[in-house]
Chains A and B, each alone.
Chain A
C-alpha cells in the first residue's frame, strides 16, 4: 500500500478518540496497515501461543485500538504487551489481515521511550551493550551454563570446551573463531553501527533505560574517532564522485 492510500478506519479513529498512549501509538505509520476493522472472529486468539498461556488477547489489542479504549491500552502498555511472542500467527491468519503483532511492536517502542519498560528490559543490558559495542547481538560467551541450567548437562560440557571446538570448526575461516561476539566485526563497522544508533535517535532512547550505555558507546571509539571520521569522509567523497 502506498502512503497515499488512506485507511478510512484509522483515519476516523484518529480524529475522534483521545488518550495519551492511544495518540502516541496512532502516530506509528504501521498501524494503518495493521488495522482494517475487526470481525471479532477470534482466529487470532485461537492461533496465539501467548493467549494460550497468558492473559493476553490479540483480538483485544485490535479492538482497544479501534475503540480508542485508553484504559485497556494502558493495561497493555504497562505489562501485557510483553507477553506477545512476536510470532505473527495473528497476522498470518487474520481474515482481515490485521496485525496485532505489529501494533504490539509499536507499543513496545513507546513503552521503552516512556519509561514503562524497566522491568521488561531487566536482563537486556548485555544484549544492548553487545549491539552497541560489537555490532552483534549474541556471543558464545553469553551462553554461560549458570544462565541456562535448564538447557541440560551437555550445555555445561559444551561451554567448557567451546574454544577448541570452534577452532577446529572454523579452521580457514578468519574472523569466525571468536567468543566475545558472533564474528569479528571490524572497528569501523562497529563505528558505523554506533553512528546509525546515534543519528536515528535510537541511542537516546537506549539512554532512557540504560543511561550508562550511552557513555560506554561514546567512550568506546574515543581514541579512534578521528581515524574513523577520515574513513567516513573518504567514503562520502567516493559516493559523491560516483554520482557524477
Chain B
C-alpha cells in the first residue's frame, strides 16, 4: 500500500513532559569532554539539524565529508561508493577518499566472534581519528559500520574500562580518542540534501523517476542495533524520504521490518537461511506491491536482495526486482551514466528493465 513518509515518523514525543528513559548521548559526551576524558570531533562547516528520537536534534554535516568506505560495497557493489562520490561532485561537496582508512571489522566480528571489544573500538577510534586529523566530518557508507560505530560510541562513553584500554592502544599508534560529534550514515546525508539533489537533478531523469514504484528495506544495524540516533525516530525514513522527494511512489509491504537474511555469517556459510528469509521477504513484496525496484541503504541487504533472487527459481518463484541504493538513485537523478558512473551493471539482478522504464540509455 502506498504511504506517506511523514505518517511513519515515530519519534517518541517527549515534549509531553515525559522524562522517562531519555537517553542523551550528546550530553554525556560533553560531560566527558569537560572532565578531559575524551575529545569531541566537532562538525566542520555547514550542517542541517534533523530530529531523532526524543526530539533530539542530530547535526548532519553538509560539506567536508570524510568518506568511510564500505569494504562490502567496494568489493561487491562498487557502484555504490562511486555514486556516493558522484552526487558529491555534482553538488560541489568536498570529500576525502582516504587510503589510510581500514574496514571497521564489524562484519567479521558479528559473524565469527574473532576479535574483541578493545580491538573493535580501537579500529573505530583510529578511523575517527583519521577524519579528525585530516580536518573532515566523519561520514559512513556502510550500515554495518554505522551500527558498529554508534555502538562503539555508546560503549566508549559508558564504560571507563574500555575507554582506558582503547586509549592505551591508540597511544601506541600516536593517536588519541576523538569521538565525532555525530555518527552519520551517508543515507542520512543524502536525505538531508534532498532539496539540493532535486534542484540539481536532470528534469528528464526526474520524469523517469516519477514513473517508479518502490519498496524500501533498511539494514538491521541501521536502526535496530542502536535505535535512538537515526533521523525520523524509531522507524527509519531516510531512503523512502529521499526517493519520494525525487518523485518515486513509495509503497509499504507488511514484512518491511524483517531481517533480509544476511545474518553476517549465514550469507557465507549458511545460505539456506538467507534464501528462506529472502523467500518470505520477496513473496510479501511481490504479493503486496510488485514494485519496480527495492531501495536499500545497507551493504549486506543490498548484496542479499541482489544475489538471492535468481535462486528462488528453485522454489518456483521468479523474482526480478532491481536492487538500488539511495545514492545510486540520487546519482541517476543527477544525470549519472547508469553503468559507467552508477555501476548498476555490477548488480546481478538485471537493472535494464528499470532503466528502460526510466527512459535511460545504457549501451
Q: Is the CB of A176 within 8 A of B116?
A: no
* Chain B contacts for A238, CB-based, 8 A: 174
Q: State in angstroms the CA–CA spacing of A33 and B158 once bound together.
A: 10
Q: Is the CB of B311 within 8 A of A151?
A: yes
Q: Verify if B112 is at the interface (C-beta below 8 Å from A).
A: yes
Q: Is the interface of B mostly helix, strand, loop or mixed?
A: helix
Once A175-B97, A188-B100 are accepted as A-B contacts, the answer to whether A137 and B262 lie under 8 Å apart by CB is no
Q: Verify if B72 is at the interface (C-beta below 8 Å from A).
A: yes
Q: State in angstroms the CA–CA spacing of A14 and B167 once bound together.
A: 29
Q: Verify if B78 is at the interface (C-beta below 8 Å from A).
A: yes
CB proximity to A under 8 Å, residues B242-300: 257-259, 261-266, 268-269, 271, 273, 275-277
Q: Verify if B340 is at the interface (C-beta below 8 Å from A).
A: yes
Q: Is the CB of A189 within 8 A of B114?
A: no
CB proximity to B under 8 Å, residues A151-168: 151-155, 158, 162, 165-166, 168
Q: How far is the CB of B150 from chain A (nearest CB, A)?
A: 11
Q: State in angstroms the CA–CA spacing of A72 and B268 once bound together.
A: 27
Q: Is the CB of B78 within 8 A of A85?
A: no
Partner of A139, one of B75, B101, B268: B75
Q: Is the CB of A85 within 8 A of B101?
A: no
Q: Is the CB of A124 within 8 A of B114?
A: yes
Q: Is the CB of A92 within 8 A of B223?
A: yes
* Chain B contacts for A109, CB-based, 8 A: 113, 116
Question: How many chain B residues touch A (Cβ–Cβ < 8 Å)?
Answer: 88
* Chain A contacts for B126, CB-based, 8 A: 192-193, 196
Q: Is the CB of A186 within 8 A of B100?
A: yes
Residue of A nearest to B31 (CB): A2
User: 1/0 per residue B212-244: CB within 8 Å of A?
Assistant: 000000001101110100000010000000000
Residues of A in contact with B (beta carbons under 8 Å apart): 1-3, 29-30, 33, 47, 49-50, 53-54, 82, 85-89, 91-92, 101, 105, 108-109, 111-112, 117, 120-124, 127-128, 131, 135-140, 142-143, 148, 150-155, 158, 162, 165-166, 168-170, 173-176, 182-186, 188-190, 192-193, 195-197, 199-202, 205-206, 209, 232-239
Can you list 18 A-B pairs, Cβ within 8 angstroms, ordered by A?
A47-B257, A49-B263, A50-B273, A54-B273, A86-B111, A86-B220, A112-B112, A120-B265, A124-B268, A128-B114, A175-B99, A176-B78, A182-B72, A195-B173, A197-B119, A200-B165, A206-B114, A232-B172
Q: State in angstroms the CA–CA spacing of A3 and B107 once bound together.
A: 27
* Chain B contacts for A124, CB-based, 8 A: 108, 111-112, 114, 268
Once A124-B114, A152-B348, A201-B118 are accepted as A-B contacts, the answer to whether A176 and B74 lie under 8 Å apart by CB is yes
Q: Is the interface of A mostly helix, strand, loop or mixed?
A: helix
Q: Is the CB of A89 within 8 A of B103?
A: no
* Chain A contacts for B109, CB-based, 8 A: 105
* Chain A contacts for B339, CB-based, 8 A: 168-169
Q: Is the CB of B97 within 8 A of A86?
A: no
A3-B160, A122-B269, A202-B116 given. 7 additional CB < 8 A pairs?
Answer: A47-B257, A85-B263, A85-B264, A128-B114, A188-B100, A196-B169, A200-B119
Once A1-B158, A29-B159 are accepted as A-B contacts, the answer to whether A166 and B78 lie under 8 Å apart by CB is yes
* Chain B contacts for A189, CB-based, 8 A: 99-102
